[in-house]
Amino acid sequence: MWGLFAKVAKCLPAEAAHRAAIVTLQHNLGPRPARLTAKVNLKVSVAGLDFANPLGLAAGFDKNAECFNGAMQLGFGHVEVGTITPKPQPGNPKPRVFRLPKHQAVINRYGFNSHGMDAAAQNLQKMAAARTGVLGVNVGANKTSPAPIDDYHRAVARLARYADYITLNISSPNTPGLRNLQTKQHLADLLAAGRSGLAEAGLDSALPAKPIFLKIAPDLHPGDLAAIVESCVDAGVSGIIATNTTLARPEYLDGAHAAETGGLSGAPLFEAATAILADVSRRSDRRLGLIGAGGVAHGWQAYAKILVGADLVQLYSGLALQGPHLPGQILHQLAAMMDADGVSAPDQIKGQIVDPAAAIKYARALCEKI
Of the candidates 5, 216, 250, 302, the one whose C-alpha atom is nearest the C-alpha of residue 107 is: 250
Interhelix angle 356-368/326-341, rounded to 10 degrees, is 90
Of 43, 368, 36, 48, give the one whose Cα is nearest residue 207.
Answer: 48
Element (H, E) at 326: helix 326-341
Q: Smallest distance, Å, CB 126 to ligand FMN? A: 21
Give 232: exposed, middle or buried? Use CB within 10 Å, 0-12, 13-18, 19+: buried
DSSP code string of 94-155: SP-EEEEGGGTEEEE-----B--HHHHHHHHHHHGGG--SEEEEEE---TT-S-HHHHHHHH
> What is the number of the residue whose Cβ is closest to ligand FMN?
60
Span interacting with ligand FMN, options 55-63, 188-196, 299-307, 334-342, rule CB under 6 A: 55-63
266 binds ligand FMN (CB under 6 A): yes
Which residue among the candidates 171, 172, 284, 317 is catalytic per the annotation? 172
Q: Is 205 annotated as catalytic?
A: no
169 binds ligand FMN (CB under 6 A): yes
Closer to ligand FMN by CB, 38 or 213: give it. Answer: 213
Residue 215 contacts ligand FMN per CB under 6 A: yes
Q: By three-state DSSP, how is residue 337 classified?
A: helix
- Interface residue with ligand FMN, options 51, 68, 110, 362 (CB under 6 A): 110
280 closest CA partner among 327, 213, 331: 213
User: With contacts defined by CB under 6 A, how many residues of the chain interact with ligand FMN?
Assistant: 27
Per-residue binding string, ligand FMN, 294-333, x by CB under 6 A, is xxx------------------xxxx---------------
How near is the Cβ of 242 to ligand FMN at its closest, in Å?
A: 9
Residues of this chain that bind ligand FMN (CB under 6 A):
58-60, 63, 82-83, 97, 106, 108, 110, 138, 169, 172, 215, 244-245, 265-266, 269, 293-296, 315-318
- Known catalytic residues are 172
